[in-house]
């Protein structure tokens, strides 16, 4: 259960502590009696038989009061429910928690012409430590090497965001591959998502309670996020003229979704353009796409306070990781079609304790805001963070 301090109406019975329950039981034990009633009088002092024998019951009564005043009422409201209780609320409006989705991509096999790479062949990202398990991918459709190489579709063997891999990361053969000299993925393997969190499901559930609309921007976003693998969605109305809608699907982390998710969401929303055969109403032609991740380099000059540095030299506090952690969420949270604003980047940097001032901020080498396109859709990943320490 989440921290009950988040709920301003909880607990409902704060006075029903173990001490309060024991006090009542102690009073009831000798109610109507006096010490002169020796035969009927019960010794309720700590350490007495009565005290020891009643302790479990008193503790259980206090626990039940706590449950009735915290978990029980919280579980009954979608805004506070969690876990299976939240799933049950979703079931009342036919809303299910989204399961984890496996990452997808393509891997190129280089080697002798005529070598067959069968479906089910497994390749992996080589672990960086002895304790790390390799991230494995299975070939979905086999083929034969011709012209020295063949590129085949692969899917992560384990669903989840852990299956996403950078370009060039898949190099390790798990299955026996005689005649294959190298393995590589030219493009990132993307689209892996973890099971839907309580907060993401709650947001969709509350939106569902608002009722199905006639096809507003919000409606398209709600419909898109109900599809497995989609964590975020940007809706661009009239993107290609009247009667057109562009839906840009992303994972919850803002990464591109797989081609399978794009095709599936297209079928859900508008399988036959403009006919209303899907969730979209009759009339609009809906196009579903995903975003291309682009690396954005950030450079800045920072003036630091005493005792801080960018390298930890001389026993100072190294701020590089803290500045990176401050900049990355903003940069990677900018939606396709929006601007990455220099002032916003500077604002994130200057909030880091130990940074006195910041200047000379540049994005990809330019002292100007950077616009992410919506067609094709782009999302930003933090590339190189170039920090220089100096006076401003």
List the CATH number of the domain containing 254: 3.30.300
DSSP 8-state code for residue 305: P
pLDDT confidence band for 37 (50 / 70 / 90)? confident
Is there a contact between 11 and 3 (Cβ–Cβ < 8 Å)?
no
Question: According to the model, what pLDDT value does residue 6 have?
Answer: 54
Residues 205 and 276 in one domain: yes
Question: According to the model, what pLDDT value does residue 10 have?
Answer: 66
Tell me the percentage of the chain whose pLDDT exceeds 90: 71
Residues 180 and 203 in one domain: no
Q: Which of 184, 218, 233 is the last residue of a domain?
A: 184
Tell me the percentage of the chain whose pLDDT exceeds 70: 97
Distance of CA 10 to the CA centre of its chain: 28
Residues 298 and 264 in one domain: no
Residues 206 and 218 in one domain: yes
Whether pLDDT at 31 is above 60: yes
Residues 113 and 151 in one domain: yes
Q: Peptide bond before 376: cis, by omega within 30 degrees of 0?
A: yes
Whether pLDDT at 7 is above 80: no
Question: 184: helix, coil or strand?
Answer: strand
Residues 385 and 296 in one domain: yes
Task: Give how many domains the chain has, as a whole number.
Answer: 4
pLDDT tens digit sequence for 270-308: 999 999 999 999 999 999 999 888 889 999 999 999 999
Residues 233 and 282 in one domain: yes
Q: Is residue 96 part of a domain?
A: no
Q: Which of 264, 290, 316 is the last residue of a domain?
A: 290
pLDDT confidence band for 118 (50 / 70 / 90)? very high
Q: Which of 150, 184, 218 is the last residue of a domain?
A: 184
Look up the pTM and report it: 0.65
Whether pLDDT at 9 is above 80: no
Q: Is residue 193 part of a domain?
A: no
- Please tell me the distance from the alpha carbon of residue 367 to that of residue 296, in angstroms, as a whole number: 13
Residues 377 and 299 in one domain: yes
The mean pLDDT of 111-130, rounded to a whole number, is: 94
The mean pLDDT of 247-256, rounded to a whole number, is: 87
Is there a contact between 54 and 40 (Cβ–Cβ < 8 Å)?
no
Q: Is residue 191 part of a domain?
A: no
Whether pLDDT at 39 is above 60: yes
For the chain, report the end-to-end CA distance as a whole number of angstroms: 49
The mean pLDDT of 342-348, rounded to a whole number, is: 96
Q: Is residue 351 part of a domain?
A: yes
Q: Is residue 165 part of a domain?
A: yes
Q: Is residue 158 part of a domain?
A: yes
Residues 155 and 117 in one domain: yes
Q: CA dist 108 to 81, 176, 190, 192, 291, Å?
A: 46, 16, 16, 20, 23
> Range with the lowest mean pLDDT among 108-117, 176-185, 212-221, 358-367?
212-221
Q: Is residue 224 part of a domain?
A: yes
Residues 146 and 179 in one domain: yes
pLDDT confidence band for 234 (50 / 70 / 90)? confident
Q: CA dist 160 to 34, 136, 163, 194, 294, Å?
A: 69, 12, 6, 4, 22
Is there a contact between 173 and 205 (Cβ–Cβ < 8 Å)?
no
pLDDT tens digit sequence for 69-82: 888 888 888 988 99
Residues 273 and 306 in one domain: no
Residues 279 and 320 in one domain: no
Whether pLDDT at 1 is above 60: no
Structural domain that includes position 48: 4-75
pLDDT confidence band for 33 (50 / 70 / 90)? confident
Q: Is residue 14 part of a domain?
A: yes
């Amino acid at each position: 259960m989440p921290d009950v301090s988040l709920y301003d109406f909880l607990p409902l019975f704060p006075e029903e502590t173990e001490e309060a329950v024991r006090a009542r039981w102690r009073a009831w034990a000798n109610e109507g009696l006096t010490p002169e009633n020796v035969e009927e009088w019960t010794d309720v002092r700590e350490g007495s038989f009565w005290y020891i024998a009643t302790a479990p019951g008193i503790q259980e009564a206090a626990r039940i009061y706590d449950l009735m005043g915290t978990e029980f009422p919280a579980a009954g409201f979608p805004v506070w429910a969690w876990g299976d209780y939240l799933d049950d609320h979703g079931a009342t409006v036919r809303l299910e928690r989204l399961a984890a989705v496996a990452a997808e991509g393509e891997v190129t096999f280089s080697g002798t012409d005529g070598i067959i790479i069968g479906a089910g062949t497994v390749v992996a990202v080589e672990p960086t430590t002895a304790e790390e398990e390799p991230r494995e991918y299975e070939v979905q459709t086999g083929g034969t090497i011709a012209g020295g190489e063949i590129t085949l579709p692969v899917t992560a063997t384990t669903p989840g965001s852990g299956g996403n891999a950078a370009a060039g990361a898949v190099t390790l053969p798990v299955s026996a591959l005689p005649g294959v000299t190298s393995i590589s993925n030219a493009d990132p393997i993307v689209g892996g998502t973890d099971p839907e969190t309580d907060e993401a499901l709650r947001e969709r559930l509350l939106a569902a309670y608002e009722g199905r609309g006639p096809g507003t921007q919000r409606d398209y976003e709600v419909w898109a996020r109900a599809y497995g693998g989609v964590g975020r969605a940007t809706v661009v109305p009239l993107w290609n003229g009247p009667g057109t809608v562009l839906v840009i699907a992303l994972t919850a982390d803002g990464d591109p979704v797989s081609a399978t998710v794009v095709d599936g969401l297209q079928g859900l929303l508008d399988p036959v353009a403009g006919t209303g055969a899907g969730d979209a109403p009759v009339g609009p032609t809906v196009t579903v796409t995903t975003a291309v991740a682009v690396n954005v380099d950030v450079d800045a000059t920072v003036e630091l306070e005493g005792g801080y540095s960018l390298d930890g030299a001389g026993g100072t506090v190294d701020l590089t990781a803290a500045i990176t952690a401050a900049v990355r969420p903003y940069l990677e949270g900018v939606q396709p079609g929006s601007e990455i604003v220099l002032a916003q980047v500077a604002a994130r940097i200057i909030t880091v304790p130990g940074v006195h001032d910041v200047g000379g901020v540049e994005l990809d080498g330019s002292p100007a805001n950077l616009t992410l396109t919506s067609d094709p859709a782009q999302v930003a990943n933090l590339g190189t963070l170039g920090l220089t320490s100096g006076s401003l």
